[in-house]
């Protein structure tokens, strides 16, 4: 990435800037996504970025999308680990827990990317769209919605309570993630964090 190129054209500068931006976000969160540093790492002059992004905010938005894709991948990893069984209701509950667990794990493992993905305002409003999808083609919000749909159709969740349920679940899990990486739970033993997470997921799973 930092290599000096010999051609005048870069090839795929847009992708390169996105990659470098994602690395910067990983190291220092959204505020570390600095346009000049990204171009520097891509071996290009600062203004070259403007051929591919209207301004810094646009770059940050694209990085945020990519970071949401990373989150989706981490969640999928958790979903894949759910054992298959006969009891559809029980399994759909496990899927919901897997989404929450993956979300929080992503926050703990990649706090910089997590903030880039979910603390950059303006993008979240369209977060239900598929544009920020991971390898599975689903955005984190779609993964959540899908898990809730499974619960509703298998009897694990009263279908009358299904509408709007993703807001409740997302609120709870997102709040906990923030608490764990920035708040009073930061630095606590993994054990305490785990038990808090399980209690919260119990709460969400039971619904209301």
Partner DNA sequence: GGCGCGATGTGTACGGCGTCCACAATGGCA
Partner DNA sequence: TGCCATTGTGGACGCCGTACACATCGCGCC
Task: Report if residue 186 touches DNA, rule: CB under 7 A.
Answer: no
Q: Which is nearer to DNA, 56 or 88 (CB)?
A: 56
Q: Which span sits near a copy of itself by CB under 8 A: 45-53, 132-140, 142-150, 193-201?
A: 193-201
Work out whether 47 is an interface residue with DNA (CB under 7 A): yes
Residues 126-165 touching a copy of itself, rule: CB under 8 A, are 127-128, 141, 164
**Any contact of residue 58 with a copy of itself (CB under 8 A)?**
no
Residue whose C-alpha is closest to residue 23's, from 34, 12, 13: 34
Q: What does 58-82 look like in DSSP terms, one character per residue? A: HHHHHHHHHHHHHHHHHHHHHHHTS
- Which tokens sit at 185? 């739970």
Neighbours of 111 (CB within 10 A): 18
Q: Which range binds DNA by CB under 7 A, 47-55, 83-91, 178-186, 198-206? A: 47-55
Among DNA, a copy of itself, none, residue 51 binds (CB under 5-8 Å by kind): DNA
Distance of CA 36 to the CA centre of its chain: 25
Among candidate residues 200, 26, 208, the one with its CA nearest the CA of residue 99: 200
Which range in 55-63, 71-79, 142-150, 200-208 contacts a copy of itself by CB under 8 A?
200-208
Q: Take residue 142 and report the two structure tokens written for it.
A: 């779609």
What is the footprint of DNA within residues 25-44 (CB under 7 A)? 34-37, 44
- The angle formed by the CA atoms of residues 142, 144 and 150, to the nearest 5 degrees, is 100
C-alpha of 135 from chain center:
13
Calpha distance 139→95 (Å, rounded): 15
As measured in angstroms, the least distance from the Cβ of 154 to a copy of itself is 21
CB 107 within 8 A of CB 72: no
Residues of the shown chain interacting with DNA in the complex, contacts defined by CB under 7 A: 7-11, 13, 34-37, 44-48, 50-52, 55-57
Residues of the shown chain interacting with a copy of itself in the complex, contacts defined by CB under 8 A: 119, 121-122, 124-125, 127-128, 141, 164, 167-168, 170-176, 178-179, 182-187, 192, 195-196, 199-200, 202-204, 206-208
């Amino acid at each position: 990435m930092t290599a000096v190129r010999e051609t005048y054209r870069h090839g795929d500068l847009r992708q390169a800037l996105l990659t470098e931006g994602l690395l910067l976000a990983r190291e220092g969160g959204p505020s570390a996504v600095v346009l000049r540093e990204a171009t520097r790492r891509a071996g290009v002059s600062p203004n070259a970025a403007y051929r591919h992004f209207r301004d810094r905010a646009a770059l940050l938005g694209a990085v945020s999308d990519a970071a949401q894709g990373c989150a989706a991948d981490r969640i999928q990893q958790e979903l894949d680990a759910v054992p298959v069984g006969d009891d559809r209701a029980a399994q759909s509950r496990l899927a919901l827990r897997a989404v929450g667990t993956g979300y929080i794990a992503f926050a703990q493992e990649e706090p910089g990317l997590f903030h880039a993905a979910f603390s950059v305002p303006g993008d979240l409003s369209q977060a239900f769209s598929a544009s920020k999808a991971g390898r599975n083609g689903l955005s984190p919000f779609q993964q959540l919605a899908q898990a809730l749909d499974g619960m509703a159709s298998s009897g694990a969740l009263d279908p009358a309570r299904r509408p709007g349920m993703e807001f409740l679940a997302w609120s709870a899990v997102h709040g906990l993630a923030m608490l764990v990486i920035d708040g009073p739970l930061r630095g606590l033993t993994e054990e305490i964090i785990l038990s808090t997470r399980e209690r919260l997921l119990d709460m969400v799973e039971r619904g209301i």
